[in-house]
Amino acid sequence: ETGVTQSPTHLIKTRGQQVTLRCSSQSGHNTVSWYQQALGQGPQFIFQYYREEENGRGNFPPRFSGLQFPNYSSELNVNALELDDSALYLCASSLGQGPRGNEQFFGPGTRLTVL
Amino acid sequence: AQKVTQAQTEISVVEKEDVTLDCVYETRDTTYYLFWYKQPPSGELVFLIRRNSFDEQNEISGRYSWNFQKSTSSFNFTITASQVVDSAVYFCALSESMDSSYKLIFGSGTRLLVRP
């Protein structure tokens, strides 16, 4: 158990809808990163939030957006869902900057299915 | 360009066999970190090891060992005397120090099946 929690566990949406996924970071961690893992592939970095600001973004369109709250929990929002958005969405928390910044601890993920 | 390659898509072994999972990486940075994660069927990524680019010593942790060779840009993972519980997908990942987000760049994973 990493102490990182995600909700919901599973979600089914239809194309064109919007979805919000949630993540609570490990105690003491101020950074949350989001990854998308399509079936049979490795996780792909979506973006990272450090102290409530976006700190790095992968190759994902603007309809993928996020927030981080003062307690360092985070949300991932996806608008205008497409079939290819079906994936496991993983949240990882870390200490942010410094030599321990890349020690990322992952939550159990949210499996999103877009029909 | 940063890239991690895990050429072995799937490996099947019989319990108690030794197995090595290969990882080859590409990076422009001189300071970087390499990782291995295990992903059981439940989906959660379990951290196994982090190694920085200045530490080429091999590491052993129980039945697990890692061989880091900068000359061949490889960071291979060996499980000795494999067990059924080792069945999972294993990911190798890279993080560069010049990237302030320290994002992880993952390979495509190797699915390990350990048969009784």
Note the pLDDT of residue B93: 97
Choose among A42, A94, A103: nearest Cβ to B91. Answer: A42
Q: What percent of chain B has pLDDT over 70?
A: 100
Which of A30, A3, A19 minimizes the C-alpha distance to A89? A19
- φ/ψ of A88, rounded to 5, equals -95, 125
Q: How high is the mean pLDDT of chain A? A: 93
**Residue A61 Cα, gap to closest chain B Cα (Å):** 18
Coil, strand or helix at B1 = coil
- Interface contact flag, B47 A103, Cβ < 8 Å: yes
Q: Enumerate residue ranges in chain A where pLDDT < 50.
A: none
pLDDT bin (cut points 50, 70, 90) of residue B14 is very high
User: Which pairing describes strands B105-106 and B24-26: parallel, antiparallel, or unpaired?
Assistant: unpaired
Q: Over the stretch A24-40, which tens digit does the pLDDT of each residue have?
A: 998 888 999 999 999 99
Helix %, strand %, coil % for chain A, to 5? Answer: 5, 50, 50
User: What does the pLDDT average to over B87-104?
Assistant: 89
Choose among B42, B95, B108: nearest Cβ to A102. Answer: B95
Note the pLDDT of residue A96: 72
**Could you give the C-alpha distances from A73 to A29, A45, A56, B29, in angstroms and in order?**
10, 18, 17, 31
Q: Is A97 exposed, middle or buried (0-12, 13-18, 19+ CB in 10 A)?
A: middle
H/E element, A78: strand A74-78
User: What does the pLDDT average to over B11-24?
Assistant: 97
Q: Over the stretch B32-60, which tens digit does the pLDDT of each residue have?
A: 999 999 999 888 899 999 998 988 888 88
User: What does the pLDDT average to over B15-29?
Assistant: 96
Q: What percent of chain B has pLDDT over 90?
A: 76
CA B67 – CA A56 distance, rounded (Å): 31
Residues of B in contact with A58 (CB under 8 A): 103
Q: Which amino acid does the sequence have at B60? A: I
CA B30 – CA B96 distance, rounded (Å): 8
